A = this chain, B = another copy of it.
Amino acid sequence: MVNYTFEPDVLRKFSSRIFQKFGISEADAEVIGNVLIETEFRGINSHGIARILIYAQRIEKGLINPRPNFKVLRENATSALLDADNGMGHVISSKAMRLCIEKAKKTGMGTVGVRNSNHFGINAYYSMLASQENLIGMVFTNTSPLMAPFGGREPILGSNPLSIAIPAGVEPDLVVDMATSGAARGKLEVAAREGKKIPEGLAIDAEGRATIDPVEGLKGALLPFAGPKGYGMCLMVDTFAGVLTGSQFGHEVGSLFGNMDRPQNLGHFFLAFDVENFMPIDEFKQRMDQMIQNIRNSKVAAGFNRIYMPGEIEYEKSKKIRAQGITIDETVFRNLNELAQKLGVPEL
């Protein structure tokens, strides 16, 4: 398979043109492009430019509203609840986190919930909007069901990822971004295609028996990471993102790829927290640097070359990809160009 590498701005412009063809405003299309490009920088190409294809399909089918009328349903000094009017998740989520940041800078804390939304890309994009402003950011979103509760066998829970971004000083910010499942469904799909087994503890078959066969796992359900611990975190995320925002939750959330007949109606929850409630930002950052250096300089385990902090691998990829360009594979390249042709947008 041939890969194609592009300067980020070429893909950014391409993305913006595609989305504008669907009636999305120029400003909103640029927000979506920024999220996709930053995601590529972090090396997470499963959630990057390739996703234009499914978003386009959903907009074409009328499952995503290209011209949403965002509404503020509730608001006070520390919080707000927004209705995304079934628009692109990236646009409302960027606005929601910026509103959090504004509130946190005034009152020390901002929380914003979003209902009636769609897939928003990666959580870390939004949590890092806060850490870039010297705040601690947290982002929860619910997702379509694919995971069984601890002790259950039906895939009625989302993988419900969460992210936390914490500003450091001379060190890269600490960025946690993880699903509450033991593994992504995509990992099982790859193993199934390659005829490989999967590690224990990631999936159950349709009867709820532990399996290392990815084909059986895909018929059954994913499992939460670390059993009851991942299950607990999954429900916490769904409580904030789904229950509290008035979105769908649990098995009712629509799938980006699976439900081409109805909107996703998922929810997000954003939090920004001002460390200056507790100590001056410079002192905090020095202490974060100290924590990071204590860990990084400790002894390495057998089989490891060095100790990474959460988000550090993505930070290093980001520096590299920013300089060297974004690579997409041949299938994605062809599909994007087909879409461009259809819409009358200049091809890549």
Instruction: Write the residues of chain A forming the contact surface with B, with a CB cutoff of 8 angstroms.
Output: 74, 76-79, 81, 107-109, 111, 113, 136, 148-154, 156-157, 164, 166, 174, 176, 178, 182, 204, 207-209, 225-226, 228-233, 235-236, 238-239, 242-246, 249-251, 273, 275, 277-279, 284, 287-288, 291, 294-295, 298-304, 306-310
Contact = CB atoms under 8 A, between A and B. Distances in A.
Contacts of A136: 239
From DSSP, what is the main secondary structure of chain A's interface residues? mixed
Given A81-B278, A153-B300, A235-B291, 11 more contacts: A74-B278, A81-B279, A111-B277, A152-B295, A157-B295, A207-B302, A208-B303, A209-B301, A226-B230, A246-B279, A249-B291
Nearest to A249: B291
Nearest to A226: B225
A284 to B, nearest CB: 7
A310 B275 CA distance: 30
Given A153-B302, A278-B245, A232 B178 contact: yes
B235 A279 contact: no
Nearest to A306: B151
A176 to B, nearest CB: 4
Contacts of A151: 300-301, 304, 306-308
A278 to B, nearest CB: 5
A113 to B, nearest CB: 5
Contacts of A308: 150-151
B239 A288 contact: yes
Nearest to A246: B279
Nearest to A301: B208
Contacts of A153: 298-302
B235 A176 contact: yes
Contacts of A300: 151-153, 208
A291 B252 CA distance: 10
B291 A250 contact: yes
Contacts of A233: 176, 233
A212 B207 CA distance: 29
A78 B246 contact: no
B298 A239 contact: no
Contacts of A244: 275, 278-279, 284
Given A156-B295, A225-B226, A310 B109 contact: no
A5 to B, nearest CB: 28
Contacts of A243: 284, 287-288, 291
Contacts of A209: 301-303
A307 B150 contact: yes
A232 B310 CA distance: 6
